[in-house]
Chain A
C-alpha cells in the first residue's frame, strides 16, 4: 500500500474512531482520551514542514466540525505539527533516521525513542487543547488534572494502537 493511501485511510479511520467511539466513552469527567493526533505523529519523516502544518490544520478543523469546538482542536494540531520537527531532531541519532519513505514508529525509532516522542507530542497537544478549551486559569488544579489524566489515557491508546498494528519491517 502506498504511503499516501495509507495516510488517507488512517486520517478517515482515526477521525471516525474519535468521533463515534472515544468521544462517547465516559471514563471520568477528568479523562478525555484523544487518539486522532496520532495521524500527525505518524506522518513520514521527509514531509516538508509547511505541508505538515497544513495537514495539522485540516485534521483539527475536521474534528472541530464534529465536536462543535470551532478552532480549538485545529490550534492544538497546528501547534504540535509545528513542533514535531524539533522534537524529532532532538531524538534522532547522528545522521537522522534513514530511508526516504520511513515514518516514525517503534521499529524505525526504537521503543524508548518512540515512547519519548509520543509522550512529548501528546502532552504538548493536550496542554494546548485544554488551555484553550477550558480557557481560564482560575482553577489550575482542574486544568492540570485534566491534562495529565487525559495524556495518560491517550498514551495508553497509542500503546494499544502500536501493539495492534505492529510491523516487523
Chain B
C-alpha cells in the first residue's frame, strides 16, 4: 500500500465498495449480461420492439433468400404436386363444374360483386369480402425446435401485419408474429404447448359430426398434433378430417388441420377424448403459403372487447 493511505480501510466505505466491486467484477458482469439476455427473452413477447434482431431483418433475410433459391430446386417436384392437387380441389368447387338440373333456375356468377375489393362496389353488393389472400414464399422454416418459426418473403410493404393467419396448399400453417418491410416471421403450428387457453392452441371442429375441440402441438413429432376436449359422444373414425372452427378472427372456416390417427381416453373418469391427428400440412417441405387477412377482424375484435368490458 502506498504511503499516505490510512491503515484502516473502514474509514473509506466508498473505497471498500470499489474494492468489493473490482474483486467480483466478473461475477457482476456475468449477472448484468445474463439479465440483459433474459430481458431480451421475455421482451420478445412484445413483438414490435425486437423486429430488427430476428430473421426478418435485412442480413438474415437476404441470406435465407439466397439459400432458398438453391434448395428450392430440390423440392420442385413435391411442391408442384401439392399445388396441382390444390388447383384440383379449387376447380371442383367452380360453378361450371356443376350441372343444374332444375330448368327453372339459372345460376349467374356475378364475379364483380363477389370478388371485388373496391369500396363503391362493396356497398352495392350484398356479400362483402371477408378474407383477402396473399401468396408468399417460405424462405426459412424449422421443425425441430420447441417453438418453430417460418420466415416468408412478404412484409409490411405488401400489407402483412401481425396476427394474420397463414395456410399452406394442404392446410393450416400458423400465425404471423412480426413483419419487417420485406419479410415476416410466422409462428408455426408446431409450437409446443399444453393446450390450455393461454398457450398457443387453435379451436377446431370435426368435419363429419361437428364436435368442437382444441388443437395444439405436444413437441414430440412434427407430423402429428393433438386435439383435446372432444366430447365422448362424438363418433370418430380413423382418417376423419379435422377443420378450423371459424370461431377465431384469424382463420376462415373449413381449413384442413389434420386427419384422425389414434384416439385416447385420458382418464377413466374423463368426459372427453384426446385425439392424435396426422397433420394436413407437410412442414418438412413447405414452399408456398397464403396469408389471410380478415377485413372484418377489427370490427369483430372491437365488438368482443367492448362486450367483455361491459361485463366487468
The CA-CA distance from A65 to B149 in the complex, in Å, is: 12
Q: Which residues of chain A come closer than 8 Å to B25, judged between CB atoms?
A: 50
Give min CB distance, B140 to chain A, whole Å. Answer: 8
Q: Which residues of chain B come closer than 8 Å to A103, judged between CB atoms?
A: none
The CA-CA distance from A60 to B158 in the complex, in Å, is: 31
Identify A57's interface contact among B37, B41, B43, B142, CB under 8 A.
B37
Identify A53's interface contact among B30, B54, B144, CB under 8 A.
B30
The answer to whether A79 touches B60 (Cβ under 8 A) is no
Contact with B along A58-73 (1 / 0, CB 8 A): 0011001111111110
Q: Is B168 an interface residue (CB 8 A)?
A: no
The CA-CA distance from A3 to B261 in the complex, in Å, is: 56
Closest to A133 in B: B146
Q: Which of B6-14, B98-106, B219-227 contacts its partner?
A: B219-227
The answer to whether B38 touches A75 (Cβ under 8 A) is yes
Closest to A52 in B: B26
Given contacts A26-B284, A74-B37, A138-B194, contact A68 B143 (CB under 8 A): no
Q: Which residues of chain B come closer than 8 Å to A50, judged between CB atoms?
A: 25-26, 29
Q: Which residues of chain B come closer than 8 Å to A135, judged between CB atoms?
A: 146
Interface footprint category on B:
35 or more
Q: List residues of A (106-128) whose CB comes within 8 Å of B's CBs.
A: none
Closest to A48 in B: B26
Identify A65's interface contact among B53, B146, B147, CB under 8 A.
B53
Give min CB distance, B55 to chain A, whole Å. Answer: 5
Closest to A77 in B: B37
The answer to whether B39 touches A29 (Cβ under 8 A) is no
Q: Is B145 an interface residue (CB 8 A)?
A: yes
The answer to whether A71 touches B38 (Cβ under 8 A) is yes
Given contacts A29-B220, A132-B41, contact A61 B53 (CB under 8 A): yes
- Additional pairs, 19, CB under 8 Å, beyond known A29-B144, A65-B54, A82-B27: A23-B142, A29-B219, A29-B220, A53-B29, A56-B33, A57-B33, A57-B36, A64-B53, A66-B60, A68-B149, A70-B43, A71-B39, A71-B44, A74-B37, A75-B34, A79-B34, A82-B26, A135-B146, A142-B220
